[in-house]
Amino acid sequence: AASDAGKRISESWVALDVPQCGYCQAGQIMTATALLVRTPNPSDADIDAAMSGNICRCATYVRIRAAIKRAAAARTGGSHGA
């Protein structure tokens, strides 16, 4: 389950151009993957709570949230219009 979630997160990160400088990406991706393993269909509040310990100096938080939602939708075969 973790490898599938990680793959979906990585694909979503690239599709939505989340990384800018790349400094925080490892922590962001690991935390987002753990979130999807624990909570397959996270709400905005779930995402905020899980990701709050990861600071992005480029402020790509909107894209991070969209990528997590896209990855969650991919699990269920849905689509996310981000």
Tokens of residue 71, six digits? 């990855």
Q: Give the CATH number of domain 2-75.
A: 1.10.150.120
The pLDDT tens digits for 12-44 are: 999 999 988 889 899 999 999 999 999 999 999
CA–CA distance, 77 with 82 (Å, rounded to integer): 15
State the pLDDT confidence band at 2, using cuts at 50, 70 and 90. Answer: low
Q: Where are the domains of the chain?
A: 2-75
In terms of Cα–Cα distance, which of 72, 16, 63 is closest to 40? 72
Q: Helices in 1-82 by DSSP H: which ranges?
A: 2-15, 25-38, 44-51, 61-75
State the pLDDT confidence band at 1, using cuts at 50, 70 and 90. Answer: low
